[in-house]
Structure 1
């Protein structure tokens, strides 16, 4: 008899939710992680009395009461509303694209005026958009594309917009109201005290081992448990036997500043091409902090080099075709559950990660 019922590879949201639900049902779980902390990319660390999102801004947002209530059982959530701004060569614009943005761009006041300008500009695209550039212009026109989309997106993905698939831009909201609420969704906020205490609660009845890589010795860890719940890179699981999938990575520079308010907002997107980072985050604003100092983080996108963390799958046609071949191997794999952004090679936000894990919980244990 093996010591554990489940080995959970990865202590981020997908892994932690599954581990919590399994232990709640009396199962013995071992959670392992390559990093030196639990929580994956959602991990927060207290610096100068401020809960710093070490791997980028994380705001729980969802239209699902089920997901919201599930998350809420572990923490109280504040009423933070994500209202980022864009900095284009020193010009400041509200995000998402809304009447405040359009008024700043064109000196207009009404939705009809904004629609007239946008409709004229986007008419240059004929037929179905073939790439991200055409999709962006067909949605928002040339001015918004050039100032607020092109530079940011090409930094984020490391590729010209003409080489990126059109679906990427469809996640960006746009509206003809004076509303700076980025998500425009019923439930959103940031937990009081940061995210790390949530993971501590989820994993308190599990055994946890950090600084270990499952893929360096799969058999060793398999021998410990009856089943594996895997949240790592799907190609790494199969030792890249079909080839390597491509990912985007991120690098963060964190800095403590001797001021109580550096930029007046939690997130500023730098949409020009010359600024090397895409976002500057001031963490205290997530929890309406009044500390004497502040902590900022600069976010630099980069190509994944095999040593850094893989953050985003690159779901272009070539990578998607390769993933489909790996998915065939996944379907044949016994006693292993694949879940999460890296294991399923698709973008998940926080609520989607929770939902994906709960789907696997239901498959495994029923209601």
Structure 2
């Protein structure tokens, strides 16, 4: 086939959509393909009973990057949703992030000084000076009691590994505050796009040719012949036929149901932190938009999703890269191979084997488009 497009974008998620939009705005011809039957990748939302259901897990947009915020708000209005998850440990409810509500419920302390003293005491009892793994890091941050009840079980379900075998940096993502601030994200800008993420991504891809249900790797030679350059956002190891071996991921399975009641748990996200409960959390989607439909009416039903974490195997959806030493070494081999692909740009969570928040994905796509397109 004769070349027809300047760019073939593989993947209609955030990275691919943003790059495609910028390329189109720069006067380039663009084709976007995706193996799924829908756009928006893992931020895809689907309306059920008037509720925008996050089909691939909860996504709350948050950023301190004003450039990114100004960019996304060109394509969607955002509500004022603030992420304030709750931890359920065998029926005991605690505030997440870890804050004074958490410390009061756990220990009965009232002042920040008392909370800090309790954590310091438990850290000293554990004899931790230089945390070497997630367990030691967690105890040094919040003490052994909170680690045992609110961190250990959830984390081991999430990652399928003992906390002693996980790197310390994972727990550093969890905020610890000696205030009563229940906002999980310490971000200047936060919210959910009105009408759902699919609508937002559709606006980004407006007037761009998109073909769904197309597996690039099944027809790679044919697709490559259709464009001068490829923007590839799929798994980097799959692109190279897993020649160096499989990169490891954690995958997530969802059990979603419509309930004939207006309120199941009273919060968008409840984490189940004991080891015995098989799911990691339950999402009640309507609370991302305050239980209202598009016209501001109360919704009579609710939709919940139970999330189950599992080890990835071929055929599963890859979600979270396992960025341990072994996988980092393997990725570096693929990164070297990717650097030799003259007309291919690898981007996004799977293309770069990197845990990306949504704002970081968009920032990365904008940075690459500026470099590639000169805009």
Name the TM tier (shorter chain): over 0.9
Aligned residue number for residue 265 of structure 1: 267
Residue of structure 2 aligned with 1:322, choices 315, 320, 330: 330
SS state at 1:31 partner: strand
C-alpha deviation, 1:340, in angstroms:
0.7
Question: Quick one: structure 1 residues 91 and 25, their matched pair in 2 at CA, closer, same or farther if it must change by over 3 Å?
Answer: same
C-alpha deviation, 1:217, in angstroms:
2.4
Q: Is structure 2 residue 351 aligned with structure 1 residue 340?
A: no
Aligned residue number for residue 199 of structure 1: 201
**Quick check: 2:279–2:308 contact (8 Å CA) kept in 1?**
yes
Aligned residue number for residue 169 of structure 1: 171
- C-alpha distance in 1 between matches for 2:283 and 2:169: 26
Residue of structure 2 aligned with 1:294, choices 286, 291, 302: 302
C-alpha deviation, 1:361, in angstroms:
0.6
**Quick check: 2:8–2:229 contact (8 Å CA) kept in 1?**
yes
Aligned residue number for residue 364 of structure 1: 372
Unaligned stretches of 5+ in structure 1? none
C-alpha deviation, 1:126, in angstroms:
3.0
Aligned residue number for residue 32 of structure 1: 33
What are the Cα deviations for residues 13-56 of structure 1, in whole angstroms up to 9, with x where unaligned?
00000011111111111111111100000000000000111111
Aligned residue number for residue 284 of structure 1: 286
Residue of structure 2 aligned with 1:159, choices 145, 158, 161: 161
**Quick check: 1:86–1:93 contact (8 Å CA) kept in 2?**
yes
- C-alpha distance in 1 between matches for 2:57 and 2:310: 14
Aligned residue number for residue 96 of structure 1: 97
Counterparts of 1:113-192 in structure 2, within 5 Å, are 113-123=114-124, 124-192=126-194
C-alpha deviation, 1:204, in angstroms:
2.2
- C-alpha distance in 2 between matches for 1:125 and 1:212: 55
Query: TM-score by structure 2 length?
Result: 0.96
Query: TM-score by structure 1 length?
Result: 0.98
**Quick check: 2:63–2:189 contact (8 Å CA) kept in 1?**
yes
Aligned residue number for residue 49 of structure 2: 48
Aligned residue number for residue 224 of structure 1: 226
**Quick check: 1:125–1:137 contact (8 Å CA) kept in 2?**
no
- C-alpha distance in 1 between matches for 2:154 and 2:58: 16
- C-alpha distance in 1 between matches for 2:268 and 2:51: 13
What are the Cα deviations for residues 201-231 of structure 1, in whole angstroms up to 9, with x where unaligned?
1112221111121122211110111100011
C-alpha deviation, 1:238, in angstroms:
0.7
C-alpha deviation, 1:127, in angstroms:
3.4
SS state at 2:316 partner: coil
SS state at 2:256 partner: strand
Q: Is structure 2 residue 91 aligned with structure 1 residue 83?
A: no
SS state at 1:93 partner: strand
**Quick check: 1:254–1:296 contact (8 Å CA) kept in 2?**
yes
Aligned residue number for residue 294 of structure 2: none
- C-alpha distance in 2 between matches for 1:37 and 1:52: 14
**Quick check: 1:125–1:138 contact (8 Å CA) kept in 2?**
no
Aligned residue number for residue 58 of structure 1: 59
Q: Is structure 2 residue 257 aligned with structure 1 residue 255?
A: yes
